[in-house]
Amino acid sequence: MSAMSLESVRYGRGSLRVLNQLLLPQRSEYEPVTAVQEGARAIRDMKVRGAPAIAIVGCLSLAVELANNPPCETPALMTFVRESLDLLIGARPTAVNMKKAADELNTFLAREAEKPGCTVQELTESIIKWAEALREKDIDDNRKIGEFGAQRILENAGSTEAVCVLTHCNTGSLATAGYGTALGVVRSLHTLGRLSHVFCTETRPYNQGSRLTAYELVYEKIPATLITDSMAAVTMRERRVSAVVVGADRVVANGDTANKVGTYQLAILAKHHGIPFYVAAPSTSCDFSLPTGASIVIEERPSNELTDINGTRVAAPGIGVWNPAFDVTPHELITGIITEQGVFKPDELKDGLTRF
């Protein structure tokens, strides 16, 4: 990434600042997060969002609180970490990344604590380093996802021409530690000189597409056009879309995938138009403890996120509202799942991932 790349978080030992995505694209402001409570609030309020970024901000908020207020004794440290992780997991339920990070950190910590003579200071330091490594790994994973995804889409398109893709929600630098997942694939195609165009959906009701993805695409000077979600069918029919590529909040054992609401209808449309439909997701978004998508808990957001725009009510007063933030795309509609370890058919993912 260049020094000028967009960053969802700015981190240095003992200091974390989060780009407040509620203010984009009008204002670009970083806000300090000094404690786990603040990290959880930033996630719940969607100042930071996107499955990988949620886990990274959660874990780094723990790291900065520990760096600035280290517990003096191991039992106090263990209790603090356990309670903090529980709070962070509860902030948003659908994306699995924070839960997986918490499970891994707990396992790591239990192992470290058993080492003979391990001091509370050493344990604290190891947690901070663990959180810092999570961020580094995410950027690495995204670059690999970008390369694998671009290669697969080009192979599938089967020509030497540039390809046109359609994407949904925001899966870019703002949703991750950097580079992005589905938007990382778009970025890679562009870097290779093989992207003719990208269509990004507005992504109602929260407009992650028009506010955030459009912002990233303009920032990176990638040839792009914004459409409303309801224009996806006509875009696929009339604009020679070669592939749809989206992100994921949770991919379960049979390949069913939860992602931003509206993903499911895009997969149905892609099937109808004979367009390959790809999910780009790091293994940190995979949850093989759930057999099918039916078991995924779908977060429901407050009704005003649908009825109001920028604080102004646009929906008729008195109307009932259902606002699920995500939907589940059945595996049979997914052509391939692009991970940092390669591209898998949905039903081959569980056995295909070597490190998980």
Kindly list the residues in this chain that would bind ligand MRU in the complex (CB under 6 A): 49-52, 95, 169, 171, 175-176, 181, 208, 247-249, 259-260, 325
> Is 45 noted as a catalytic residue in this protein?
no
Tokens describing residue 277: 């439909």
Least distance from C-beta 263 to ligand MRU, angstroms?
Answer: 8
Least distance from C-beta 142 to ligand MRU, angstroms?
Answer: 8
Q: Select the residue whose beta carbon is closest to ligand MRU and give its number.
A: 247
Q: Which of 45, 103, 138, 249 is catalytic?
A: 249
Residue placing its CB nearer to ligand MRU in the complex, 150 or 169: 169
Residue placing its CB nearer to ligand MRU in the complex, 77 or 175: 175
Q: How many CA atoms lie within 13 A of 27 on its CB side?
A: 7
Distances (CA, A) of 115 to 19, 101, 109, 347: 38, 22, 10, 40
Give which of 280, 267, 262 is closest to 141, Cα–Cα. 280
Residue placing its CB nearer to ligand MRU in the complex, 153 or 169: 169
What is the distance between the alpha carbons of residues 97 and 101, in angstroms, rounded to a whole number?
6
What is the distance between the alpha carbons of residues 336 and 338, in angstroms, rounded to a whole number?
6
Least distance from C-beta 51 to ligand MRU, angstroms?
Answer: 4
What is the distance between the alpha carbons of residues 47 and 24, in angstroms, rounded to a whole number?
10
Residue placing its CB nearer to ligand MRU in the complex, 71 or 146: 146
Q: How many CA atoms lie within 13 A of 210 on its CB side?
A: 11
> What is the set of active-site residues?
249
